């Protein structure tokens, strides 16, 4: 008698192949570290440098957006330094991340500015700024070629105790709902959703109610009716963390194409790290950016097409056109907040104009 395995659903097969990509990435990083460290290391210090890093994300998502990087760094540091990884709210509440980083309670943070209440005039652009991006590579291009890197460095140079290190892209923003489909803007009225601050502020003009609760409580809150859904992520995360098992509907209209996330360090902690380990940390950050770009980009498409857990809905074309028009006003309102904010919005406008003129495959 032979055992018959239950066939995988399309989404289970997609997630399984993507988790295999994660395992291969981690094994590859370890192999590189082992290949470059043939001689045994003798630590001249009394012990390794110890850091505590907290990410904005819960453990299921953190397994992809940061754990591969921390594992690779710890392996390659060869005993000179060790980073302890903590997930959302494990050491401090997410809203207190910046203050905890600044006072040295934690040594490093992975988050967006808006979620961690960063006290800079560009914090509104962290996370999901409506229609600032269409694709994940837009984030890297904006920082590399359109001045955002210099603006971010300038802003954080004015904040004592915190060093900004790098920004990267995450997934696009969609709205997922438990049992109330969104087929028009009117359907957003009164929906309580867990979401990131800036996008939530923009969407509230259509009656959506942003709700902030600990990340680990979101699924239960949707099951009990405290939340009607989430406006926090794309399809990849919704499937990976289990929210697609609770939500019946997914709005295909994306408010923006990629989340802006950054790495930060406590300045005193960063200055105690030798230059070669600082460089290693920045290299593994770039590795993390690369991994996330592939993981999200491939998963978003496959899960929208092959994922079977949520029904896709969309807004009428004329209503979506109105949202795009409203976003232009939101950009101008944000630009008026400060001269530096105006420089960021100007960069967004120049970038969007360049991409439109470039045409395929950029737009």
pLDDT at 22 over 60: no
- Do 339 and 253 lie in a common domain? yes
Average pLDDT, the chain: 91
Considering the domain architecture, whether residues 76 and 90 belong to the same structural domain is answered as yes
Flag whether pLDDT at 188 surpasses 90. Answer: yes
Domain co-membership, 119 together with 249: no
The confidence band for 175, taking pLDDT boundaries of 50, 70 and 90, is very high
Sheet containing strand 49-55, strands side by side: 81-86, 49-55, 108-111, 260-266, 162-169
Same domain, 264 and 253: no
- Tell me the pLDDT tens digit for each residue of 53-92: 999 999 999 999 999 999 999 999 999 999 999 999 999 9
Cβ-proximal residues to 343 (8 Å cutoff; 6+ apart), any chain: 147, 151
> How sure is the predictor about 274, in pLDDT bands with cuts at 50, 70 and 90?
very high
For 23-53, how does the pLDDT look when each residue is reduced to its tens digit (9 = 90+)?
A: 555 445 444 444 444 333 444 457 899 999 9
Res 233 pLDDT > 90:
yes
**Closest CA relative to residue 169, chosen from 21, 80, 265, 291:** 291
Query: Are residues 242 and 184 located together in one domain of the fold?
Result: yes
352: in domain: yes
Rounded to whole angstroms, the Cα distance separating 199 from 170 reads 15
* pLDDT of the residue at 10: 64
| Number of separate domains in the chain | 2
User: Is residue 37 in a domain?
Assistant: no
Q: Are residues 224 and 339 in the same domain?
A: yes
CA dist 136 and 297 (Å) reads 8
- Clarify whether residues 166 and 193 are in a common domain: no
Please list, in sequence order, all residues whose beta carbon lies within 8 angstroms of the beta carbon of residue 116, skipping any fewer than 6 positions away. Answer: 56, 94, 95, 97, 98, 109, 126
Q: Is the pLDDT of residue 277 over 80?
A: yes
- Which is it for strands 209-211 and 192-195: parallel, antiparallel or unpaired? parallel
- Whether the per-residue pLDDT at 18 is higher than 90: the answer is no
Whether pLDDT at 248 is above 70: yes
Residue 40 resides in a domain = no
CB atoms within 10 A of CB 231: 25
Query: What pairing do the DSSP bridges indicate for beta strands 249-256 and 311-313?
Result: parallel
Q: Is residue 6 part of a domain?
A: no
Same-domain pairing of 112 and 245: no
Q: What is the CATH number of the domain that holds 99?
A: 3.40.190.170
pLDDT score recorded for residue 288:
96
Based on the fold, state whether residues 193 and 249 are members of the same structural domain.
yes
Q: For 295-318, what is the mean pLDDT? A: 95
- Residue 189: CB atoms within 10 A of its CB come to 11
> Mean of the pLDDT values across residues 113-130?
94
**Could you tell me which residue, 126 or 23, shows the higher pLDDT?**
126
pLDDT band at 15 (very low <50, low <70, confident <90, very high): low
76 and 210 share one domain? no
Q: What is the pLDDT of residue 52?
A: 98
Q: What is the mean pLDDT of residues 128-144?
A: 96
Assign residue 167 a region (left: φ > 0; alpha: ψ between -120 and 50; beta: otherwise): beta
- β-strand pairing of 49-55 with 229-233: unpaired
Per the structure block, which two tokens stand in for 96?
Answer: 């207190």
Residue 182 in this model has a pLDDT that exceeds 60: yes
pLDDT of 299 above 60: yes
Say what the pLDDT of residue 12 is: 72
CA 37 to chain centre: 32
Q: Are residues 85 and 226 in the same domain?
A: no
Residue 175's nearest CA partner among 241, 101, 235 is 235
Structure tokens at 39: 């001689």
The predicted model gives 256-278 an average pLDDT of 97
Q: Report the predicted TM-score, pTM, of the whole model to 2 decimal places.
A: 0.86
pLDDT of residue 1: 47
Q: What per-residue confidence (pLDDT) applies to 21?
A: 52
Burial class (CB in 10 A: 0-12, 13-18, 19+), 216: middle
Q: Is residue 3 part of a domain?
A: no
Residue 273, C-beta contacts closer than 8 angstroms, at least 6 positions apart: 49, 81, 281
pLDDT value of position 4 = 57
* 67 neighbors 75 (Cβ within 8 angstroms): no
Q: Is residue 346 part of a domain?
A: yes
The answer as to whether 12 is a domain residue is no
The answer as to whether 9 is a domain residue is: no
Rg (CA), the chain: 21
Domain residues for the domain of 221 are 173-258+309-358
Same domain, 185 and 324: yes
**Which string of DSSP letters, residue by residue, matches 189-213?**
TT-EEEE-HHHHHHHGGGT-EEE--
């Amino acid at each position: 008698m032979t055992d018959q395995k239950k066939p995988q659903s399309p989404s289970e097969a997609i997630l399984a192949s993507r988790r295999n990509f994660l395992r291969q990435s981690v094994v590859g990083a370890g192999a590189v570290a082992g290949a470059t460290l043939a001689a045994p290391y003798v630590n001249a210090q009394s012990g390794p440098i110890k850091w505590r890093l907290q990410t904005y994300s819960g453990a299921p998502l953190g397994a992809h957006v940061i754990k591969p990087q921390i594992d690779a760094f710890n392996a390659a540091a060869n005993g000179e330094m060790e980073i302890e990884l903590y997930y959302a709210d494990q050491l401090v509440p997410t809203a207190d991340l910046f203050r905890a980083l600044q006072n040295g309670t934690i040594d490093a943070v992975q988050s967006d500015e808006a979620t961690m209440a960063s006290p800079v005039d560009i914090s509104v652009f962290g996370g999901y700024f409506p229609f600032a991006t269409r694709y994940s590579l837009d984030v890297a291009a904006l920082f590399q070629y359109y001045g955002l890197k210099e603006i971010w460095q300038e802003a954080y140079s004015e904040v004592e105790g915190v060093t900004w290190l790098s920004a990267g892209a995450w997934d696009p923003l969609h709205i997922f709902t438990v049992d109330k489909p969104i087929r028009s803007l009117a359907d957003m009225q009164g929906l309580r959703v867990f979401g990131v601050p800036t996008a939530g502020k923009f969407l509230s003009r259509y009656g959506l109610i942003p709700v902030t609760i600990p990340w680990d409580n979101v699924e239960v809150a949707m099951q009990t009716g405290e939340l009607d859904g989430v406006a926090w992520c794309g399809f990849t995360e919704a499937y990976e963390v289990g929210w697609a098992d609770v939500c019946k509907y997914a709005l295909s209209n994306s408010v923006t194409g990629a989340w802006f996330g950054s790495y930060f360090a406590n300045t005193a902690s960063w200055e105690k790290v030798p230059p070669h380990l600082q460089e290693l940390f920045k290299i593994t950050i770039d590795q993390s950016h690369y991994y996330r770009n592939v993981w999200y980009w491939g998963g978003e498409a496959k899960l929208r097409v092959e994922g079977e857990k949520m029904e896709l809905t969309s807004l009428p074309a004329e209503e979506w056109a109105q949202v795009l028009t409203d976003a232009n006003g939101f950009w101008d309102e944000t630009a008026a907040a400060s001269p530096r904010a105006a420089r960021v919005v100007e960069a967004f406008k120049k970038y969007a104009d360049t991409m439109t003129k470039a045409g395929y495959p950029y737009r």
